Structure 1
Amino acid sequence: MEASPPQHALSASVRKKPACAECRQQKMRCESDASSLEPLACSRCRRLKIPCIFSAPFKRTHKRKRLQELEEETAALKHQLLSASLAAPGDALPVEDAPTPRQEENSHVSQIPAAKVMRRNEPSSHDDVTLSRTIDGLELASGIIDDCFELYFKDYHSILPILDRSITPNAFYRHSQFLFWVIVSIGSRRYARQPTLNQALALPVTQLAVQSIIVRSKPIERMKALMLLLNWPFPSGPFYRDPSFLLGGTLIQMAMQCGLHTPTFSQEFSKKCLKLPEQEPVRRAEMWVYIVSTYQRTCFGSGQASLVSYEIYNEQIHFKALLEKLPATLRIQIQISNVITRAHKALLELGLLSMTPQQERTMDALLKGFNAELDSLENLSQSIWDRLYIASARQDLVVMHFYKSATTLDVQSCILIFNATSSVLEKIRDLDRDYGLHQICTRFLLATTHLSLASMARILKGPFAGYLDHSRGFDLFRTGVRFARSCSAQKGDYAEKSAAFAEQIWKSEKVFRNPDGSINITLRVRNRLSGGILHDAMRCWKEEFFDHECTHPAPGNDTGTIIPSSTAAGFHATPTPALDPISALPTFSAAPDFSLNDELWGDLDLGLSDGWDATGSSMGWMV
């Protein structure tokens, strides 16, 4: 009788049985037999309907590396597909048939005087036919470039008129590729025939913006491109975060490096001492005003103070003389920036974290004085655009009353906030009706709308709602939400998400309330100036729907409910009948199916992650 083989030898032979490549990759058991002449596919490969392959030289693929390869392959295929579609013949639009943003809203097309742009199919005096251009492997046909240039000068140029509309696309490209691609990007924001073009340009054009920091040639063109990009940034998304605040600092420092803050003595910042033409200091002063206004509005949109004390330069005698030669609109813009900068500096010096009654009285006096300056500017305003920027500045100051404690925030302060917020929303409504503002809305005006919505919701859900014209407030809130959503240039961008956020805040029965149900509209986010109102509302929403354990009271504030009274108001006020905010406002549309909690915080310029190193390492925040 033959001896049976040892048990351990059988086990070894079983363990050495090879598995198919897919099972080895996933470290799964494979029951197929590779030793047979025609091995059958294993059950796992049959279920997944994939080839069951046995390979001797096997190397396991790292999942993250494979995912990265797939993402790169997908991006390359998208570029090829988009390039093929953009290069297709016959893409040029007829001059009389240029696409308007959101075709279903043609009745709201911009009525701002359109700029004349040379079309590729129109003979020019120099026969400068637009050429196709390529950026990062993405090729744009000449017709697409002409269309984007026409859309830019037709709709956007009048908001920030810093370019010469007579220059052809080829000349822009030869002079500054960065500026050329920024113009194309802005023109493509609502380009109906290529709706994905703006998204495809986001990364390569932003890379050009970063590279502009180290390039020394053509600084004026680089600053113009940065200004345009800060006013109309690319829509944010899962793989792109708005870098506007960082680029805003680059813009103002670049301008000072070139001496624009001292236009009369700019040659002191040049390699050569040149004799400037008579009009050159005026042109430089005009450029400085545009840069200062853009920088200050970028800081506002990020809930940050302007760190550059440019009002010191603007108060110099030689600069005041130049300002008198500028258009009235620019003089108003620079004075608005000066008021806001001085107000922010004074309020930060006063202290906002936990205010004493004396500090609150001092803040009342400061705000009253700064508002008086804005009132004098309003008397000089000549257009509804000037009045909108003045109203936005007034709202930026008045909402600082929210920093008062629960016991001192009275009905008079709430009425001031309500009136300032209503004024902004009404002017935005009128501009959208007359000029189609949602089609050309800048980052600053969108941020102003968000602040208005957050302030209005806080006021109308507060203890003094009965003293306000709540019907007017509800209508304006609804109008603001519609406007914010209509500003969306891409599905799931900040404009659309913020509109959905405002709807959820309005419908919530817990927001601006303490755990015991009492009303509390005081702020807990107290280090972001007027942006604290929006960020605090965001945190209230986040705590209700996501992070219930993160609730915390405002520092040094009483969290009890405020009972409106004539004593608290400072005058004899009569409350109007209470109105249920849920039933009074028509039902909003359902929120989009994307998660508001993912990229929304990045859009609000929250730079740090939530994970701090518990061990106290100074590098923990970089993880």
Structure 2
Amino acid sequence: MESPEFSAGMRNQGPNGGPPKRKRSIMESSPASTGDNDREERDDGSPETKGGRRLPGVKRACNECRQQKLRCDVVQEPFSSCSRCNRLHLECKIESNFKRVGKRSKHAEMEKEIERLRRAVQSAKSQGFVVDEDDDNNTPGNATHSQLHSPVINSHYSHTRNPSLMGSDEAVSSLLHLKRGGSYAMPRIVRELEDFRITEDDEGVLFNDYFHYYHPFLPFLNPHQTPDQYYQQYPLLYWAIVAVASRRYGHDRSFLTKLSSPLTRLLWTTIGEVPQSYFAVKALCLLCTWPLPTSTSSSDPTHILSGVLMKTATGLGLHRPNHMNDFSRVPIELNKEGLHDRIKTWAVANIVAQAVGTGYGQPATTLYDWTLATRQGDTSPASLGPELEARLQIERFCDKVSKEMYSNASDPRGVAGDEHRAMLMRVYRRDYNELAASVLSKGVSPVVNLHLKAAGLHLRLAGFFDSNNSPNYLDDLMGLWRATTSFLDFILDGDPSCHDHYSYQYRDQYMLKYASNFIQQMLVAAGFSLLKLLRSFFAKIIDFDRGRELFHRTIQAIRTTSVIQNDLYWRLAELMVQIWNGAGRENPNAYRPDGTDPVVDDSLQLKVRCRHSMSLVFDSIWHWREEYQARGRGTLDALKQPTNPDSANESSASSTHLDSTLAPPSHGIPNLGLAAAASNGSITPGGGSTTMGGNQQLMGMNGFDTLDVWDPQHWMLDGLLDFNYTFVPPIEGA
């Protein structure tokens, strides 16, 4: 029989016969005893109720104390930092989704980072970079203490998989800067995208350029955020801002060339992810407004991206900002600022999508619903401000014109009938005048005024669809002439009555250098409009000399908007020059007024009529192709070195064969037969050039016979000198 002492000893033993388990006293777990911050706490950090049970859904310990498994005396309501964070000067915060990071994994990742930096040092040394090492630190194991004069090591890497290791990256980078001395002046790389690197100085200049020059065209990003904040929000948004700003980056003309390919791969990888981020909509707005330069329509994804933009926005519920939870798996609570930002982003998405649809002559994927309804005097978060509100009104007007005039369900090409279109034109002329009065009364910027004039040109381009027998035919053409010249005068010279702080924009060709893709497209449409009107019977009604001078300036303006030499707009300007010269030689009496009344004919009728108001552009190039296609075959040398309007002085008298302002220099362009022959006065009656040796045809020598691959569903010279995104030669001196 067991003794009482033996039974009591067995009861006091711990598991497996070990020492007795020490009971936890109430005093030790009470809040009053939390002064010792070295005691451990449960991993979930949940406090206990009076009965010793957990209080579900409550996080008591702050992130720093939970990371170290220490007790925490943080007060949540009202919030007061814990004593440990105050003593160690740490950021005291409580996050419901916080997860501890094990020290072993943290150390392992630091070791991997150090090893990667060592390989970068060795790679830089193999490329000829100078490494200064002390005698006692020139072993491979001490490579982290080396002084490397390379921007690669002067960097702050932020591409760790664990955000909590950001500080360790900076610490590792600091180790590499020990004993560096004067090498601190070297540029410091702050971001990497594949093999593309951007330094801290370049980043600062580019972000400053974006918000100074490009932001007025699409004012919806926050200029007070830092580049690092944009990167933390969404890397694609950060690189989109860098790409837009690098279009005119004078410090390094090859910046955009180097960034194009990595950014393209990042773009398609990012938009393929599901679910999408709200900031992806902002990035797509930028890349659709200022696309990466390309040379062919087949490699221009802007129209596709605009559709992705709108589907992403609606998938995230931006069109229902007050009911975001209907489109999310987790609850979303927005404050007033967050709600306003989403409404603004939704408005900008519609503005961008409408501009893409109008510029490419395609149906726009816009959604103008209650969220974007105009409410005068509204000061709620739905208010967009005068600039965006005016832009939204203009784009809604363009959408109405496109849908009513070019979406006729009873016509195979979708074009409204002559009588219906004439009635719509009268209605929309009145609507446009009311819109202009409303927009201009708000004192908007010249950028908004420019888009207003572009909307007027978009409306009036329907005049090319009219029959020459319609009663108001000449009136519509005169309205088109006025809309074209008004748009061109404004973008070239600005508003002469404007004497405010916007006047600097015109002195520096602000509107042209930093123009969006839509403005470039409308500038091309205006140029083709002048070309078609001045080469028709209508030239006898208007001021031909003024139109001719304005056309020459338009050619130069299109080339000014071109970001890369021989990109789409550079080459379209070259084609317009060739069409002008060829039409002048072929039919000189068609555009020179001789004092007689004009004979109205159907020469202005369009054959291409399925591309809305931009049908004029496609029709003009198709007309040129059919007119000169069978006259010979040639090379692409003319496009490799396109004509330069500044290469010759302006002739006082307009020539019926070749305008001197559009003539190319005779040197350095081996196969530009027409211009070289005309400058030497040796154009043969058959169109050949004696200077080039042989009776070669007029336009065949210029290499434009390759327009056999012209796709009528696009408008950008497929097959002529492609560079896509891999080769982008910079414009010298731009």
Shorter-normalised TM-score: what interval? 0.5 to 0.7
1:435 positional shift = 4.8
Letter in 1 for 2:474: V
1:537 positional shift = 0.6
Name the CA shift for 1:365/1:243 in 2 (closer, same or farther; >3 Å): same
Letter in 2 for 1:483: A
Aligned partners of 2:604, 2:297: CA distance in 1, in Å?
35
Report matched runs for 1:138-149 at 5 Å.
138-149=196-207
Aligned partners of 1:167, 1:236: CA distance in 2, in Å?
31
RMSD, matched Cα: 3.9
Report matched runs for 1:117-266 at 5 Å.
131-216=189-274, 219-237=277-295, 241-266=299-324
User: Which residue does the alignment assign to 1:489?
Assistant: 563
| Cα deviation code 1:320-362 (max 9, x no counterpart) | 8869722122222212222222222222343666899x92121
Letter in 2 for 1:605: H
User: Which residue does the alignment assign to 1:398?
Assistant: 460
Name the CA shift for 1:439/1:277 in 2 (closer, same or farther; >3 Å): same
Name the CA shift for 1:335/1:273 in 2 (closer, same or farther; >3 Å): same
Alpha-carbon contact 1:176-1:218 (below 8 Å) kept: no
User: Which residue does the alignment assign to 1:69?
Assistant: none
Equivalent residues, number: 459
Aligned partners of 2:223, 2:567: CA distance in 1, in Å?
30
Alpha-carbon contact 1:511-1:541 (below 8 Å) kept: no
Aligned partners of 2:384, 2:518: CA distance in 1, in Å?
23
* 1:534 and 2:617 aligned: yes
* 1:426 and 2:489 aligned: yes
Alpha-carbon contact 2:189-2:197 (below 8 Å) kept: no
TM-score by length of 2: 0.56
Alpha-carbon contact 1:411-1:467 (below 8 Å) kept: no
1:389 positional shift = 1.0
Alpha-carbon contact 1:199-1:234 (below 8 Å) kept: no
Alpha-carbon contact 1:152-1:183 (below 8 Å) kept: yes
| Cα deviation code 1:8-49 (max 9, x no counterpart) | xxxxxxxxxxxxxxxxxxxxxxxxxxxxxxxxxxxxxxxxxx
Name the CA shift for 1:332/1:544 in 2 (closer, same or farther; >3 Å): same
Name the CA shift for 1:349/1:155 in 2 (closer, same or farther; >3 Å): closer
Aligned partners of 2:193, 2:128: CA distance in 1, in Å?
14
1:585 positional shift = 5.5
Give the secondary-structure state (helix, strand or coil) at the position aligned to 2:209: helix
User: Which residue does the alignment assign to 2:480?
Assistant: 417
Alpha-carbon contact 1:353-1:527 (below 8 Å) kept: no
Letter in 2 for 1:473: G
Alpha-carbon contact 2:347-2:392 (below 8 Å) kept: yes
Partner residue of 2:714 out of 583, 605, 615 = 605
Alpha-carbon contact 1:511-1:540 (below 8 Å) kept: no
User: Which residue does the alignment assign to 1:376?
Assistant: 434
Aligned partners of 2:706, 2:150: CA distance in 1, in Å?
40
| Cα deviation code 1:545-593 (max 9, x no counterpart) | 43579xxxxxxxxxxxxxxxxxxxxxxxxxxxxx977479553142987
| Cα deviation code 1:77-113 (max 9, x no counterpart) | xxx9xx999x99799xxxxxxxxxxxxxxxxxxxxxx
TM-score by length of 1: 0.65
More divergent stretch after superposition (133-142 vs 338-347): 133-142
Q: Percent identity?
A: 22
* 1:460 and 2:534 aligned: yes
1:468 positional shift = 1.3
Name the CA shift for 1:147/1:332 in 2 (closer, same or farther; >3 Å): closer
| Cα deviation code 1:210-261 (max 9, x no counterpart) | 2232334662321111111111111113798221111111111111112222
User: Which residue does the alignment assign to 1:558?
Assistant: none
Name the CA shift for 1:320/1:608 in 2 (closer, same or farther; >3 Å): farther
Aligned partners of 1:427, 1:88: CA distance in 2, in Å?
51
Aligned partners of 1:307, 1:132: CA distance in 2, in Å?
38
| Cα deviation code 1:391-448 (max 9, x no counterpart) | 1111111111211234337211110110011111011112463452222111010001
Alpha-carbon contact 1:462-1:512 (below 8 Å) kept: no
Alpha-carbon contact 1:199-1:235 (below 8 Å) kept: no
Alpha-carbon contact 2:528-2:616 (below 8 Å) kept: yes
| Cα deviation code 1:292-338 (max 9, x no counterpart) | 11111111221212144535764598998869722122222212222
Letter in 2 for 1:402: F
| Cα deviation code 1:127-185 (max 9, x no counterpart) | xx974322222333333333332332332223222222233333322322111211221
Letter in 2 for 1:525: V
Give the secondary-structure state (helix, strand or coil) at the position aligned to 2:469: coil
Letter in 1 for 2:346: W
User: Which residue does the alignment assign to 1:520?
Assistant: 603
| Cα deviation code 1:516-563 (max 9, x no counterpart) | 9987111000100111001101112222343579xxxxxxxxxxxxxx
* 1:443 and 2:505 aligned: no
More divergent stretch after superposition (341-350 vs 528-537): 341-350
Aligned partners of 2:586, 2:458: CA distance in 1, in Å?
21
Give the secondary-structure state (helix, strand or coil) at the position aligned to 1:158: helix
Name the CA shift for 1:531/1:540 in 2 (closer, same or farther; >3 Å): same
Letter in 2 for 1:413: D
User: Which residue does the alignment assign to 1:47?
Assistant: none
User: Which residue does the alignment assign to 1:111?
Assistant: none
User: Which residue does the alignment assign to 1:475?
Assistant: 549
Letter in 1 for 2:403: K
Give the secondary-structure state (helix, strand or coil) at the position aligned to 1:140: strand
Alpha-carbon contact 1:241-1:603 (below 8 Å) kept: no
Aligned partners of 1:482, 1:463: CA distance in 2, in Å?
26
Alpha-carbon contact 1:311-1:341 (below 8 Å) kept: no
Alpha-carbon contact 2:336-2:381 (below 8 Å) kept: no
Aligned partners of 1:393, 1:493: CA distance in 2, in Å?
25
Alpha-carbon contact 2:303-2:356 (below 8 Å) kept: yes
Name the CA shift for 1:323/1:603 in 2 (closer, same or farther; >3 Å): farther
Give the secondary-structure state (helix, strand or coil) at the position aligned to 1:509: helix
Larger Rg: 2
Give the secondary-structure state (helix, strand or coil) at the position aligned to 2:308: helix
1:606 positional shift = 5.7
Alpha-carbon contact 1:313-1:319 (below 8 Å) kept: no
User: Which residue does the alignment assign to 1:346?
Assistant: 404
Name the CA shift for 1:146/1:596 in 2 (closer, same or farther; >3 Å): farther
| Cα deviation code 1:450-484 (max 9, x no counterpart) | 01011111111122221112222222212211110
Name the CA shift for 1:139/1:283 in 2 (closer, same or farther; >3 Å): closer
Letter in 2 for 1:205: L
Alpha-carbon contact 1:152-1:186 (below 8 Å) kept: yes
